[in-house]
Chain A
Amino acid sequence: MLEFFRYDARKRVKGSLYLSIGMALLAAVVIWVFPSFRDTFEEDELLEAYPEAMLQLFDVQTMATLEGFLAFELYVFGWTILLGLYVAYSAAGVIADDIDRGRMDTLLAMPVSRGRLLAEKFAALCVPIVTVNVLVLPVVLGGSHLIDESLPVADVVAVHALSIPYLFACGGIGILCSVVFDRSAIAQRVALGGTFGLFLLESLLENTDYEAIGAVAPMRYFDPNEILLEGSYDLVGAGGLVAMTVGLVLISQIWFTRTDL
């Protein structure tokens, strides 16, 4: 067991390191510019200049504290959006790419079920997801120390930890696209569009009569502001994300098992 997982995981190490370096740079820049933002604007003076729709879209609460600034600039933007899209995009290539490039026949000629192949390849997404969180976390904590700001360590650890089920759920959206669309370019585009669409849906329907519809979006269950500003962790939401991931993987397995390749 786990042969395909090990193989795919190893193949993802290099890309995951580059991804982590990129996100660490983003984190460093965000922390580096914070003092000048803080000193230039009184309280949330800057926020008032932003259009209301923008604030709602990115769920911006405050930029007067490092926590609030990070929640918006790094976690909502970098994690919820960028990494979410990255994982969905990667997952969308997992099956479709092998089919597209004529590799699937060679893989499935081995004594392995399609369900197992899909599950192991999906699980290998843990490499970028975990690596980026583990490597960027010390950059955030170290960076805040360098600018003499103190961050609640537990909350920062929590936002990284709780982003893991969120990112897997985005991967679930991608893997479903990967089996539904047989061309990887299309699967990846739909995964990107779908994930970003869910983000917009969730953000824009908030506080409207249609708020309930946003419950299908993984973004509903991962809220960096709540974690960093209020120190409250939505463990039920995290459980929901795990369930969403498992559900999406199961549907993908059934779909993949029953399709003609």
Chain B
Amino acid sequence: MAAIELEGLTKDYGEVLAADDLTFSVDHGEIFGYLGPNGAGKTTTIRLLLGFISPTAGSATLLGRDVRDRRALIEAKRRIGYLSDEPGFDEQATGAEILDLHASIKGDTRREELLESFDPPLERRVREYSRGNVQKLGIVSTFMHDPDLVILDEPTSGLDPLMKQRFADFLRSEQERGVTVFFSSHILSEVRRLCDRIGIIRNGRLVTVEPIETLLTRSGKVVRVASATPIPVERLEIDGVHDLETGTPKRANETVPDGEFIECAFTFTGDINTLLAQLQDYELMDVSIEEAPLEDVFLRFYGGE
């Protein structure tokens, strides 16, 4: 039995199909990334799974319990941690009071240990918290009862780079302890670093579910090259070059023959070594190879709409 299973899960609001016939599963001990642009239906999927909204069709299970069965879902929640995309806590309460309430309901075997890594100012009231501190409090409340499955909705929003790194390391160590992690994000690089498999959702529909390696090769890089000497365009007529744009900025004492360029930008999905070999005879001023923006990945592989 998988940790999470969706079978044709659908939420039809009449005007909007927020989740459209979603079918996929998340294995025990896996870090599963749920990726999609804002408004794609990530949060709707999570809220369906946790029973905050009811599906209009289809079904789903969390840790083997049917999410449509209220009692069964409450049982499952004893072993589930959930971090909302905007964790809402009683602003009048202190962080310690919030954690005490959570502890009284679900236990707090790991509270102290977690507070060593994620340390919101517990004696202060939540209304004085920065976004990052609210997120830290959320992380502690999500993991304090040592859940088997955690569902995280955009967990790194609001965290500074250092905390993001700490959180990524933490998730990996949780995975080693056997925890299943389901987390949504709209940031491809973040999902890439962490996840075993990725599900991509757009406009409420699941576009694909695939292992990270497949996505890595398919998603491509944005490459920009600036050269001191002209490069013939045919050097870039290799596999994996898409949307090539070349340019020749006006500089003094430079003449660039037709069919050659000194600056270019393109999307590249091929082998990076092949590309570099093609350029090794030229005196380059700058090369940048960056991750393609998520939107471009969608447009390239799944077609525009």
A and B physically associate: yes
Measured CA separation A106–B52 after assembly (Å): 10
The answer to whether B84 touches A105 (Cβ under 8 A) is yes
* A229 within 8 A of partner (CB): no
The answer to whether A105 touches B89 (Cβ under 8 A) is no
* B252 within 8 A of partner (CB): no
Segment at the B interface, from A110-118, A164-172, A205-213, A233-241: A110-118
| B53, B86, B101, B141 interface centre (most CB from chain A within 10 Å) | B101
The answer to whether B54 touches A108 (Cβ under 8 A) is no
The answer to whether B105 touches A261 (Cβ under 8 A) is no
* B92 within 8 A of partner (CB): yes
Contacts of A11 in B (CB 8 A): 90, 92-93
* B106 within 8 A of partner (CB): yes
Measured CA separation A7–B101 after assembly (Å): 7
Measured CA separation A158–B102 after assembly (Å): 40
| A6, A105, A108 interface centre (most CB from chain B within 10 Å) | A105
- A109 nearest in chain B by CB position: B82
Measured CA separation A159–B104 after assembly (Å): 38
The answer to whether B50 touches A109 (Cβ under 8 A) is yes
CB interface residues, B 89-142, toward A, < 8 Å: 89-93, 97, 101-102, 104-106, 138, 141
Q: How many chain A residues have a CB neighbour from B under 8 Å? A: 21
The answer to whether B82 touches A102 (Cβ under 8 A) is no
Measured CA separation A108–B47 after assembly (Å): 11
Measured CA separation A98–B88 after assembly (Å): 8
| Given A11-B93, A103-B88, A109 and B105 contact (CB-CB distance below 8 Å) | no
Measured CA separation A105–B93 after assembly (Å): 17
From the candidates A7, A98, A109, name the one contacting B77 in the complex (CB within 8 A). Answer: A109
Interface residues, chain A, CB within 8 Å of chain B?
3-4, 6-7, 11, 98, 101-106, 108-113, 257, 260-261
Interface residues, chain B, CB within 8 Å of chain A?
47, 50-54, 70-71, 74-75, 77-78, 80-82, 84, 86-93, 97, 101-102, 104-106, 138, 141
Q: What 7 new A-B contacts, CB under 8 Å, besides A3-B104, A105-B47, A105-B52?
A: A3-B101, A7-B101, A103-B89, A105-B82, A260-B52, A260-B54, A261-B52
